[in-house]
Amino acid sequence: MFNRTQNTVRLAVDRIGGPTKASHATGVSNATIFNWINRQRVPDIDKARLLAKLANIEVNELRGTR
């Protein structure tokens, strides 16, 4: 389990290879990726599931449901 202060969205994006690779992999813009990082959550469940799978992170860590 991750520390509450750790930005798991940033961790997931970094594991995939950065914002550009994450945006291509999830089909969203770079701006959307940066919004997710800044808000520390992925609001769209389908995108959260995809990002979680690609980064090997549990989806609830990306959804802000701790």
| pLDDT score recorded for residue 65 | 59
| pLDDT score recorded for residue 44 | 95
Sign for the pseudo-dihedral over CA of 15, 19, 20, 23: positive
C-alpha torsion 22→28→47→59, nearest 10? 40
| pLDDT score recorded for residue 4 | 52
The answer to whether 52 touches 12, Cβ cutoff 8 Å, is yes
Residue 22 belongs to what domain range? 8-63
Instruction: Report the CATH number at residue 47.
Output: 1.10.260.40
Mind listing the pLDDT tens digit for each residue in 16-44? 999 999 999 999 999 999 999 999 999 99
| pLDDT score recorded for residue 5 | 63
* Predicted structure pTM score: 0.86
* Domain contains 1: no
Question: Residue 66, Cα to own-chain centre: how many angstroms?
Answer: 15
How many domains does the structure of the chain reveal? 1
Token pair recorded at residue 21: 């690779």
Q: Residue 64: pLDDT band by 50, 70, 90 thresholds?
A: confident
CA distance 23 to 8: 16
* Domain contains 47: yes
